[in-house]
């Protein structure tokens, strides 16, 4: 069986050696030495101003909305994982969708200004599949209309834009370290901001609002990452470059094999990409269905990321988003992971090519 992804697991002895440190200290959470070490490693590797590791990649979105004191409408993308939109609603705000660019799959900045109303407080955009948004255009619009910017950078670990970590952009950026993501701690995530004062506020909020043992800075929640999660991150960390390299090579092999048969995502030019996903778009929904059926019959399970387009979900009921809905109905993320063999990429590509040419 070949799934869309397979979690990268470091040698278990290496994981155990790190876990042993937690055992020896009898210290499992509340920002122990493993969490601090993981934060330091990420911060130094990518030259990041401030990082706060968290227990997943969804709470950071909610905490960011809370700490930026956003109200009313938040402009967002319909082409993302549900957490992007559900966080807005969970925080009592209203998601206003703006359609995506059909080549990059990211929110289309040309359509953002039309969606701004006196109630708009922010833009929450996803760097879809790790591909950077039009960051400069979004920053300009935000400045002009006095809006905050949050980037859901759940897929973007390791990506840089204009020679800076992608996490340095926006008022706040968030990441997910979920087991299906390119860098993982089992469950986990992080908050990033260049603003030290805002960082402190995020920090308090992620730990019940605690200011020392007896005092409270204000309202908070529990989004703390544990030592057990950090241990996994530390064990995966030394393999990052090998993971990026392997994925790049498999990604490029897919591109070579499927060139002319499907549409690929257009990656921004001034970025260092992480090859976190290989989405392909078919000409029609029927073509996609035929390919999915054929691959499934061969025990290959790609995923339709992102389908449905978030504006169409019943409890959300947003405006029609023609581009997002069209891409959603025709997009497929093909298997891509460290242990995938090149022969498997060839097998999958051949099945797809044959399926398409039979139509």
Ligand X SMILES: *Cc1c(COP(=O)(O)O)cnc(C)c1O
Round to whole Å and give the CA distance between 328 and 25: 48
Q: Where in 183-212 is the site for ligand X (CB under 6 A)?
A: 189
CB of 189 to ligand X, least distance (A): 5
If the CB atoms of residues 56 and 287 are measured against ligand X, the closer one turns out to be 56
If the CB atoms of residues 84 and 311 are measured against ligand X, the closer one turns out to be 84
Of the candidates 228, 197, 225, 244, the one whose C-alpha atom is nearest the C-alpha of residue 39 is 225
| 54 binds ligand X per the rule CB under 6 A | no
CB of 57 to ligand X, least distance (A): 3
If the CB atoms of residues 302 and 352 are measured against ligand X, the closer one turns out to be 302
Cβ neighbours around 296 below 10 Å, total: 11
Q: Does 196 participate in catalysis according to the annotation?
A: no
| 56 binds ligand X per the rule CB under 6 A | yes
From the list 25-33, 147-155, 231-239, 314-322, the region that binds ligand X by CB under 6 A is 147-155
| 58 binds ligand X per the rule CB under 6 A | yes
- The residue from 63, 65, 70, 83 that contacts ligand X (CB under 6 A) is 83
If the CB atoms of residues 32 and 57 are measured against ligand X, the closer one turns out to be 57
If the CB atoms of residues 81 and 157 are measured against ligand X, the closer one turns out to be 81
Per-residue string for binding with ligand X, 9-48, x by CB under 6 A? ----------------------------------------
- Residue tagged active-site, from 148, 181, 201, 224: 181
CB of 197 to ligand X, least distance (A): 25
CB of 187 to ligand X, least distance (A): 6
The residues annotated with a catalytic role in the active site are 181
Give the footprint of ligand X on this chain (CB under 6 A): 56-58, 80-81, 83-84, 126, 152, 154-155, 176, 178, 189
């Amino acid at each position: 069986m070949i799934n869309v992804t397979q979690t990268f697991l470091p040698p278990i002895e290496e994981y155990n050696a790190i876990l042993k440190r937690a055992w020896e200290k009898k210290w499992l959470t509340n920002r122990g030495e493993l969490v601090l070490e993981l934060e330091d490693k990420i911060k130094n590797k990518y030259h990041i101003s401030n990082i706060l590791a968290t227990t997943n990649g969804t709470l950071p979105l909610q905490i960011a909305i809370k700490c930026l004191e956003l109200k009313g409408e938040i402009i967002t993308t319909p082409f993302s994982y549900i957490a992007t939109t559900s966080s807005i609603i969970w925080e009592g705000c209203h998601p206003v969708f703006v359609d995506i660019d059909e080549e990059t799959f990211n929110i289309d900045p040309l359509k953002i200004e039309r969606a701004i109303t006196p109630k708009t407080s922010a833009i929450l955009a996803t760097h879809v599949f790790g591909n950077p948004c039009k960051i400069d255009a979004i920053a300009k619009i935000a400045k002009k209309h006095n809006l905050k910017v949050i980037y859901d950078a759940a897929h973007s670990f390791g990506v840089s834009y204009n020679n800076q970590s992608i996490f340095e952009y926006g008022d706040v950026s968030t990441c997910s370290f979920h087991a299906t993501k390119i860098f993982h701690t089992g469950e986990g995530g992080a908050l990033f901001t260049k603003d030290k004062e805002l960082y402190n506020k995020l920090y308090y909020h992620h730990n019940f609002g605690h200011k020392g043992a007896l005092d409270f800075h204000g309202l908070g929640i529990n989004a703390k990452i544990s030592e057990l999660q950090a241990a996994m991150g530390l064990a995966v960390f030394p393999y990052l470059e090998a993971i990026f390299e392997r994925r790049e090579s498999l990604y490029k092999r897919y591109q070579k094999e499927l060139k002319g048969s499907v549409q690929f995502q257009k990656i921004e030019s001034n970025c260092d990409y992480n090859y976190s996903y290989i989405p392909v778009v078919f000409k029609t929904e029927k073509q996609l269905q035929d390919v999915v059926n054929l691959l499934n019959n061969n025990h290959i399970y790609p995923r339709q990321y992102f389908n449905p387009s978030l504006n169409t979900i019943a409890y959300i009921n947003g405006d029609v988003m023609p581009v997002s809905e069209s891409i959603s109905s025709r997009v497929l993320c093909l298997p891509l992971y460290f242990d995938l063999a090149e022969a498997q990429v060839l097998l999958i590509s051949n099945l797809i090519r044959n399926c398409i040419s039979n139509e």
